[in-house]
Amino acid sequence: MLLLLLGIIFLHLAALVLLFVSTIVSSNIYYTLTHHHYRSVTDSPPPLFFFSLAEWIQAVQAVMILSIIFSCLSLFLFFCQLFTLQKGGRFFLTGTFQILASLFVMSGAIIYTVMSPEWVLGTYSFGYSYILAWVAFPLALISGLIYVILRKRE
Amino acid sequence: MLTFLALTSVALLGIVPEQSQAIVIYTGWERHALVGSDVRLSCSFFSWRWTSEDVSFSWTYRPDGSRDTISIFHYTRGVPYLDNKGPFKDRLEFVGNPGRRDGSILIKNLDLSDNGTFTCDAKNPPDIVGRPSSVRLLVFENVPIQAGVITGAIIGVVLGLLVLIVVIYYLMRFLVARRVFSLSVRSVSGLWPAALCQSGFCQGLELKPEPIPGMDTCVAKLA
């Protein structure tokens, strides 16, 4: 019983950590991309007040951050429901938030996959943060599904 | 004592200009404008000396990606000289007030080729040692979106929707519980309202009233 609980928490935390690493590492890629694009179009350094030249990069950023927020919320809700749920109840809310987080990661990775080839050189496209995002998506999805199926005992 | 202090302060004030502190020139860092609009490039300076009559301002321009600088404006001895041959021909206007140490110029009808760095150099004789200051002009066709605005907007909208859903959920629960409560009050007269209000059940959020004939299915769906 305790083993199951620990396993579930470990899975959740693993997905969360992957999301964190992927988002934090890729944050500098966004500015490198726009910086590089600016330099290739004009010949001078980008302005101090930085205007982003691509809206999709900001959308990817927003979606990744949202997935982290939802995953953290679902972890918090899991501990709440662990102590307040009636016997035999299901962790619907926790599972919903975790599944939403995985959907956000998926949409972020898909937007990046679709939009990046027309914009950048091959070197930037498949850094390890991109791979981490794709790994975090199924982990979060499985974790969310487990929460939805799981029933509270004792 | 007081006279000693007065003498030292006068001496200090006298000494400082003799060492000719550098003149400090202030312009903006960057200016953003749309194509076709006008932009005012401000330039002012700080100097320990009084503003002399020989104060001079000069503006030079270096286009983006080029290494050449050209002079576009010069003010000296009370007369401004504007560019009449270069890229800013007929587009410059002197809007500064040299008496108040302001050497600003106005550039009209901007074009994309006006992107570049403008350098202002001011001299206030005998205070002439100073570093010219530069302002970068960026001309856009349409107003660009700042980095982070879309990110913030998306996150804000989604979190706002989440909060809205939670609020609506609790509101519905509250309203439906109250509706059931008020209906039960109407059918069972007298006993319920006083008793329940005293024991603090008037909030009605977790209220599960006794099943009333005909209302069983309603309550079961709510729970």
pLDDT at B80 over 70: yes
Q: Which helix (H) or strand (E) holds A32?
A: helix A2-41
Interface of B with A (CB under 8 A): 29-30, 32, 64-65, 115, 136, 138, 144-155, 158-159
Measured between alpha carbons, how far is B102 from B13 in angstroms, rounded to an integer? 25
Measured between alpha carbons, how far is A152 from A144 in angstroms, rounded to an integer? 15
**A residues 5..44 contacting B (CB < 8 A):** 31, 34, 42-44
Confidence of residue B207 (pLDDT cuts 50, 70, 90): very low
CATH of A2-34+49-149 given 1.20.1300, 1.20.950, 1.10.3470, 1.20.140: 1.20.140
Confidence of residue B218 (pLDDT cuts 50, 70, 90): very low
pLDDT at B99 over 80: yes
Tokens of A82: 């662990």
Residue of A40, A49, A92, A111 to mutate, testing the B interface (most B Cβ within 10 Å of its Cβ) = A49
pLDDT at B202 over 60: no
Measured between alpha carbons, how far is B181 from B158 in angstroms, rounded to an integer? 34
pLDDT at B156: 95
Question: What pLDDT, in 10s, does the model give residues B100-155?
Answer: 999 999 999 999 889 899 999 999 888 888 899 999 998 888 777 777 788 899 99
Question: What pLDDT, in 10s, does the model give residues B150-175?
Answer: 889 999 999 999 999 999 999 999 98
Contact B223, B209 (CB under 8 A): no
pLDDT over 70 for what percent of chain A?
Answer: 75
Q: Do B147 and A52 touch (CB under 8 A)?
A: yes
Residues 6+ apart with CB under 8 A from B198: none
Every domain of chain A and the residues it spans: 2-34+49-149
Tokens of B117: 């760095």
pLDDT at A35: 66
pLDDT at A34 over 70: no
Q: Is A133 exposed, middle or buried (0-12, 13-18, 19+ CB in 10 A)?
A: buried
User: Nearest-CA residue of chain B relative to A60?
Assistant: B151
Measured between alpha carbons, how far is A60 from A129 in angstroms, rounded to an integer? 13
The DSSP bridge pattern shows strands B56-63 and B116-123 to be antiparallel
The residue with greater pLDDT, A41 or B166, is B166
pLDDT at B211 over 60: no
Confidence of residue B220 (pLDDT cuts 50, 70, 90): very low
What is the per-residue DSSP string for B36-85? Answer: T--EEE-EEEE-SSPPPTT-EEEEEEEETT----EEEEEEETTEEEE-SS
Question: What pLDDT, in 10s, does the model give residues A71-114?
Answer: 999 999 999 988 888 888 888 999 999 999 999 999 999 988 88
The DSSP bridge pattern shows strands B133-140 and B116-123 to be antiparallel
What is the per-residue DSSP string for B145-159? Answer: PBTTHHHHHHHHHHH
pLDDT at B215: 47
Q: Do B151 and A59 touch (CB under 8 A)?
A: yes
The CA angle A76-A81-A87, to the nearest 5 degrees, is 160
